[in-house]
A and B are shown apart, each in its own frame.
Chain A
Amino acid sequence: MSDSNTHSAGPGGVDTSAWDERLIFERSRPGRRCVTYPKPSRTVDLPESMRREAPPALPEVDELELVRHYTRLSQMNFSIDTTFYPLGSCTMKYNPKVHEKAARLPEFAGLHPLSDGNQAALKVIWEMEAVLKAVTGMTDFTFQPAAGAQGEFVGISLIAAHHRAQGNDKKVVLIPNSAHGTNPATAAMCGYRVEEVKSTERGTVDVEDLKAKMSDEVAALMLTNPNTFGVFEDEILEMAKVVHDGGGLLYYDGANMNAFLGQCRPGDMGFDVVHINLHKTFTTPHGGGGPGSGPVGVKETLLPYLPIPIVTRDGDRFSLEYDRPESIGKISTFFGNFGMVLRAFVYARMLGAEGMRRTSEMAVLNANYIARRLEKTFERPRKAQPMHEMVLTAERHKKEHGVTALDIAKRLIDYGFHPPTIYFPVAKVCPESMLIEPTETENCEMLDRFCDAMLAISEEAAGNPDVLHNAPHETPVRRLDEATAARKPVLRWKPE
């Protein structure tokens, strides 16, 4: 164990190990073996120019060494299984164990994507589609996108295909200034110019500004609802009318769907395309950054353009239909992250309609509880009632004590909490912002512990700001030099 845990300055809540596990290459010894294989029946000659000369320098370790290494690495992580993640916009809810069991059933795990013995898999896709149609009010879905950003790319590509087919020459995608960074990046990938729409003091889209920016050139408005301030866009119907009347379409970024699961539907709000993050609302695990799944739903007008293949049903038989001449094509090699769809299917079936409503109810209750407990200490820059998440700001702490949102976030680690989402995506409009989303799966003791920690940190900011500036104190490594990492990139291990 390293000595990094001897200068304890924190409340001792850290939920990671304090050790500094080396890289596997540094545990390697020539000749050590883990997996071995039977002898081949023959040696096959490859042409000289095609046969590899020197073997790749992979590590050489025995099985126990390997298991200890990765176990110890894992214990240097925060995770939902160990820690509360009040991480706004990311919906870090509990990932049920039964989902993992489902995805590992050998018949599913071993099913080849080109196998014709695929009826049960197509049935899962078909039924999950029915669930998403019911909760979104859309007409049809594709499960090919591997994540939200790829879903956005599909969604905007569908809109582009529609406008092309109509002979419309559109050049602009409108995006609120509080949007997630993937929204403008997606619009640009699809060849559109991005124009920003302002938000009001309440935290909602400024409808007057939307009207002013709406023109013949606008292909679509991309929107999240509730938006990134956690506020419900209550003028959504009017916004939809403005965009539709102007010849544009509405894109729904489903990142925040957990706020109204079973309560209302983007399809009814006037959205023409939606993407849902199964790794958020439908709790497929984040895996340290993926895999996710970003199914895209459309209304009737965009049906012809969906990626191929689509799943069709004839009586009890399901099939994959590839012959769709107006389709935007393929987006995934096969059918997207089926293993994630299967997990989400189990979740949806277990929740049922009642469970879904209860999920959004408790998610919104938890967020409002935290907001109420903290809003006197950390101001809420947008006053409308939050839904499943809220923005708090540390502007006062910065002004009075020189303590930033980043310092507070890092200090939370010492208390055993993952930091909230800080600065992004609303930094431009709300300095020192912290976006907090508790989700429905945390109990009230945990919410209280978190609020108590935030209040204690606020006190520390006044009395001992350096304890925040230097946080975290008890983690395997402390604040890292990101500037040098980017200026002199070291992106792979090399022997000394």
Chain B
Amino acid sequence: MNYTPHTDDDVAKMLKTVGVESVDALFDPIPKGLKLSSLDLPPGLTEMEAMALLNDLVAELRQDAPALSFLGGGAYDHFSPSVVDAVISRGEFFTAYTPYQPEVSQGTLRAIFEFQTMISELTGMEVTNASMYDGSSALAEAVLMAVRINQGTKVLIPRSLHPFYRKVVETYVRGIDLEIVEIPWTEAGTMDLAAVKANLDDDTAAVVVQNPNFLGVLEPLDELGEIVGASKAMFVAAVNPLSLGVVRPPGDFGADMVVGDGQPLGIPLSYGGPYVGFFSTRETHIRKMPGRITGQTTDVDGKRGFVLTLKTREQDIRRERATSNICTNQTLCATAATVYMAALGPEGLREVCELNLANSRDALEAVTSVDGVTQAFSGATFNEFVVRTVRPAADVLASLREKGIGGGIDLGRFYPELSDCVLTCVTETKRQTDIDCLAAAWGEIL
């Protein structure tokens, strides 16, 4: 099956207009030695056959999947209201091009202007761009932007930052020779503020914090904000946007840049992507900001309209002096997040956050009531927590898996000192029976 409409007659007629004998002749510019005689691929399929192939894969996935999963760690199982997919399934949204022609792209531009407004509201920041690839690359771009602003030569990064985010930051800063200083965590699981103070100096480009951090713990942004605010360093926070329905946003504490992954805002897990990064900052920094931004203006008749703006920062105009090379972003996922936020509204967002808090607290209490399981860190949490066990985490998770439960993430994989620790995520999608099931399974395996 392919999607080319021409009949043989059409082709003949067109060749005549073009003035060549055959379609093959159109490929004459390709040197003879480079032409392929055959392509090593299986024969094509009809849609019916392709669906059958997909159904086989689906059957395999179904067989492999745990009956119940408590995985989080940067990607979260949340309920996405039907309106979200209904809206982004409209061809006018998902088959549109980048809105470089604003007169025929007002739909996308207005949706993205709404996205920028809603994310700014959540993060407590003044401005937000039109999206980044994902949370980790958004954080990496924030670190690069901090260096553009203050020419610092090192960045303080907490050990409790998502290890994959850290890896992405390391890849992005390789071109600029930036020193990365790791800040340890305290017994509460929060960033060690004494270590921040000890390492913060005039050469520091940025202090990064993640809230909640990879241990699920909420950070003391108020104290951290005071410490960083008294320095030249940029205060960069990576946040779970959903949590901001109940958690105070970094904007309240003087953050310079707030970034994160919008996946919790109604975007399906899809084995890691597509998700959507967001990037918020203060107005004073906007000309140093990476990525597309939508702005409001008027047309020749004085009517309000929206355009991509501040384009002189971007690669298509500024080329090697651009603030970033980002071009295509994740607009459709940003649109989905916008519909999600609009569908929940302030009250729905608060409700879903309270459910996450309550369910995860219920699960923490139920699991730690099992002998041999304790809470690893004392800090406040949102929807993830770490428990320490008397057996290696890898063994425990394998035993839970035999009972059909994906019990969480083995933290020993990332931190050798936490090889007896499991990171468990409990969102609004889990019911009391699911939590009972998890706790019962823990009881049976220990």
Contact = CB atoms under 8 A, between A and B. Distances in A.
A290 B329 contact: yes
Indicate the size class of the contact surface on chain A. Answer: 35 or more
Interface string A72-83: 011111111111
Contact of B309 (A93, A108, A186, A485): A485
B249 to A, nearest CB: 7
Interface in A133-163: 134-135, 146-150, 152-153, 157, 160
A59 B342 contact: yes
B105 A77 contact: yes
A467 interface: no
B44 A351 contact: yes
12 contacts: A34-B343, A50-B380, A108-B58, A112-B69, A149-B325, A157-B171, A190-B174, A290-B333, A353-B38, A353-B40, A413-B103, A440-B3
B117 A493 contact: yes
A116 B380 CA distance: 29
Contact of B93 (A79, A113, A413): A79
A85 B95 CA distance: 11
Interface in B273-299: 273-276, 286, 292-299
Given A37-B352, A441-B3, A491-B294, A32 B361 contact: no
B97 A268 contact: no
B93 A131 contact: no
Contacts of B440: none
B133 A147 contact: yes
Contacts of B77: 110, 112
Contact of B175 (A24, A51, A189, A338): A189
A481 B298 contact: yes
Interface in B188-204: none
B171 A107 contact: no
A480 B101 contact: no
Contacts of A112: 69, 71, 75, 77, 269, 271, 406
Given A237-B31, A335-B271, A489-B295, A114 B75 contact: yes
B39 interface: yes
A299 to B, nearest CB: 16
B399 interface: no
Given A58-B342, A477-B106, A493-B113, A131 B41 contact: yes
B359 A41 contact: yes
A490 B10 CA distance: 50
Contacts of B306: 480
A81 B92 CA distance: 7
Contacts of A369: 14, 17-18
Interface in A180-222: 181-182, 184-191, 194
Interface stretch (A241-249, A257-265, A397-405, A453-461): A257-265
Interface stretch (B48-56, B152-160, B367-375): B48-56
B332 interface: yes
Interface string B1-37: 1111110001101110111100100111111011110
Contacts of B127: 489, 491-492
A281 to B, nearest CB: 13
B343 A52 contact: no
Nearest to B97: A286
A463 interface: no
Closest 3 CB pairs of A and B: A334-B272, A352-B44, A287-B332
B325 A114 contact: no
B3 A338 contact: no
B316 A51 contact: no
Given A50-B247, A329-B170, A362-B6, A119 B60 contact: yes
A330 B92 contact: no
A50 B218 contact: yes
A242 B295 CA distance: 46
B14 A120 contact: no
A334 B271 contact: yes
A352 B344 CA distance: 44
A116 B401 contact: yes
Interface in B95-132: 95-99, 101-108, 110-114, 116-118, 120-122, 126-128, 130-131
A105 B162 CA distance: 29
Interface in A66-108: 66-67, 69-71, 73-83, 85, 87, 90, 92-96, 98, 100-105, 107-108
Interface stretch (B78-86, B179-187, B227-235): B78-86
A24 B86 CA distance: 17
B64 A120 contact: yes
A194 B270 CA distance: 38
Nearest to A262: B39
B358 interface: yes
B44 A33 contact: no
A377 interface: no
A56 B171 contact: no
Given A123-B60, A492-B113, 12 more contacts: A57-B121, A59-B342, A107-B65, A120-B64, A121-B271, A290-B274, A330-B167, A349-B44, A354-B2, A356-B39, A372-B17, A485-B297
Contact of B319 (A181, A287, A352): A181
B273 A37 contact: no
Contact of A41 (B33, B108, B321, B432): B432
A340 interface: yes
Nearest to B1: A350
Contacts of B305: 476-477, 480
Interface in A311-362: 328-340, 346, 348-359, 361-362
A149 B168 contact: no
A66 B57 contact: no
A46 B218 contact: yes
A151 B226 CA distance: 39
A387 interface: yes
B102 to A, nearest CB: 5
